[in-house]
Amino acid sequence: MGTPFGLDDDAFHEECGVFAVCGNPEAAALAALGLHALQHRGQEAAGIITVDNGSFFAHHGIGEVGDIFASPQVMARLKGDMAIGHNRYSTAGGGGMRNIQPLYADFEFGGFALAHNGNLTNAMTLRRQLVQRGALFHTTADTETVVHLMAMSRANDPVGRMIEALRQIEGAYSIVAMTQNKIIGVRDPMGVRPLVLGKLENGSHVLASETVALDIIGAEFVRDIKPGEMVVLTPEGVTSLMPFQPGPSRMCVFEYIYFARPDSNIDGRNVYEARKRIGAQLAREAHVDADVIVPVPDSGVPAAIGYAAESGIPFELGIIRNHYVGRTFIEPTDQIRHLGVKLKHNANQARLEGKRVVLVDDSIVRGTTSRKIVDMVRQAGAKEVHMRISSPPTRHPCFYGIDTPSREKLIAAQMEIDEIARFIGADSLSFISVDGLYDAMESAPRVAASPAFCDACFTGEYPIALTDVSTDVHNASASALRSEAGK
Backbone angles phi, psi at 388, to 5 degrees: -125, 130
Question: Pairing mode, if any, of strands 265-266 and 269-270?
Answer: antiparallel
User: Which residues 6+ apart lie within 8 Å of 264 measured at CB?
Assistant: 210, 211, 212, 270, 271
Partner residues linked to 260 by β-bridges: none
Positive or negative torsion for Cα 49, 400, 468, 10: positive
DSSP 315: B
Tell me which residue of 332, 334, 479, 335 sits closest to 409, measured CA to CA. 479
Catalytic residue among 16, 252, 398, 457: 16
Helix (H, G, I), strand (E, B) or coil at 92: coil
Contact yes or no for 259/402 (Cβ under 8 A): yes
Q: How would DSSP label each residue in 233-253?
A: EETTEEEEE--S---S--EET
Residue 32 CB neighbours (<10 A): 25
Distance CA 127, CA 306 (A): 46
Amino acid identity of residue 338, one-letter, is H
Contact yes or no for 42/68 (Cβ under 8 A): no
Contact yes or no for 356/328 (Cβ under 8 A): no
Q: Is 454 a catalytic residue?
A: no
Q: Which of the residues are catalytic? A: 16
